[in-house]
Amino acid sequence: MGALTSCRVRTVARFNHQKRYRLFDQIRNNLTRPAEQIAADHLASLQNVVTHAYTTTIGYRRLFDQVGFTPSQLQRPEDIQRIPIVTKRDFQTHPQDFQSNIVDPGQCQKKSTSGSTGTPFTFYRDWDYLELGHAGTMRCMAVAGWEPGEALGIIWGYEKEVENSLNRFKQWAKQTYLLNAFKQTETLMSQWADFLLRRRIRYLYGYPSSLHQFAEFLLRCQRSLPLRAVFCTAEKYFDFERKSIERAFACKSFDLYGSSEVQNVAFECTRGRMHIALDFVRLEQEQLRTHEPPSLVVTSLHNSVQPFIRYDLGDFGRVLADRCNCGINTPLMEILGGSKYDFLLTPAGPLHSAVLERIFNKITSIRRYQIIQHALHDYTIRCELEASASDETRRQIEMTAHTVLLEIVRQTPTIQFEYPTAITSGPNGKYRFIYRSPRNPQ
């Protein structure tokens, strides 16, 4: 990578009022400092966010008061365990109670979770938090050798067209090239491979399932696409996916763990260990439900608009006692289970099922949902609704589902709608919200 390219990328960011590269320079070496310094800064950040939440939100003040906790009692990180755990349900039921009253949500980004646990909700974050999140992601990639300004291909789900000439020019200016996982056909994957080779792009970032799909295509076609690193995020990264991805791209892959609500929770180092991003989060494990693995509970240290304090992520994992000798001086963790998308069968080939999230994006009164594809045009959609949900809510769900699926499968779909009182998790304790399963024979 040349100095001119790096300068161009940073200049474009400044022109767009983005602070991510400056923030990256500030935090890049945070986690290689002595562990005592990291721990002291972590505690100070934890005290700040707890004080902010208590003084500016109704919801957290109510929770703290219920257990007789005040921010001044937080003298050690472990003291945060006195605070009750909050869930997606709390944010759905009382959304404004958990928003800071000194921040105008109208000046912030409104974000809906992907619903990968089947329970979507809306929250807010300001632009400073977003820029810091980008800087944190760049730091994770820098561990693998990537430097700001080096070309990066991103396989993600985009509702709008991203692969036309105008967008490619904009992407060249930023050295960030977008590849649409929602249109991942074999024809397009062949074009992706040609494009990545032509542009000499050596780093890829995206959903593990999409990257695995791309890797399997390359292996079937016996095509060579050597890279320097692949970054997987947003889904549980399985060993079978890692084997194919590292074989197809002839490089090491790295797992980056976070969520829509809380970014930069943990990241994989060159030794293959998952390090907690202690300057972004506090991570705990709690046995919330019997007959299940420990749940991951996270506190975000920087979202001043809508704090997440002792928040149940909906994933399973452990915080480990041992340390790594890679030079990163933060605790380790392991992921035991997380959200997972299946690919849908469509007339155009496999399609990333996250595209179906838009069925529910603008519909309230949904607690949880589940979509099962039985065959190309055959679906079951199950919705657990609020008791107050009306017939109009059901009509809107059914109309939107037919419209979205008709667009995708190009033929009128057969959809069976179910509205159970409760939708339960699977036998392994993890909720699957979109998956494929043939109908049982009658």
Higher pLDDT pick, 397 / 337: 397
Q: What's the CATH code, domain 343-436?
A: 3.30.300.30
Q: Exposed, middle or buried: residue 98 (CB in 10 Å: 0-12, 13-18, 19+)?
A: buried
DSSP code for 17: T
pLDDT > 50? residue 428: no
pLDDT > 90? residue 426: no
pLDDT > 80? residue 40: yes
Among the ranges given (110-124, 188-202, 249-263), the one the predictor scored with the smallest mean pLDDT: 110-124
| Structure-token pair, residue 27 | 């935090």
Q: Say what the pLDDT of residue 355 is.
A: 83
Question: Average pLDDT in the 1-25 region?
Answer: 89
362-418 pLDDT, tens digit per residue, is 777 887 788 999 999 999 999 988 888 899 999 999 999 999 999 888 899 999 999
Higher pLDDT pick, 352 / 153: 153
pLDDT > 90? residue 2: no
Q: Say what the pLDDT of residue 438 is.
A: 87
pLDDT > 90? residue 163: no
278-304 pLDDT, tens digit per residue, is 999 999 999 987 767 889 999 999 999
Question: Across the strands, what pairs with 240?
Answer: none
137-155 pLDDT, tens digit per residue, is 999 999 999 999 999 999 9
Q: Which helix (H) or strand (E) holds 93?
A: helix 88-93
- Residue 251: half-sphere exposure toward Cβ, Cα within 13 Å: 18
Q: Which region, left, alpha or beta, applies to residue 374 given φ > 0 means left and ψ of -120 to 50 means alpha?
A: alpha
Q: Say what the pLDDT of residue 427 is.
A: 46
**Per-domain residue ranges of the chain:** 343-436
pLDDT > 50? residue 248: yes
Q: Say what the pLDDT of residue 429 is.
A: 40
Higher pLDDT pick, 351 / 321: 321
Question: Average pLDDT in the 122-135 region?
Answer: 92
3-class state of residue 265 by DSSP: coil
59-98 pLDDT, tens digit per residue, is 999 999 999 999 999 999 999 999 999 998 898 888 889 9
Q: Say what the pLDDT of residue 119 is.
A: 61
pLDDT > 70? residue 339: no
Query: CA angle, corner 310, sides to 306 and 313, nearest 5?
Result: 85
Q: Say what the pLDDT of residue 272 is.
A: 96
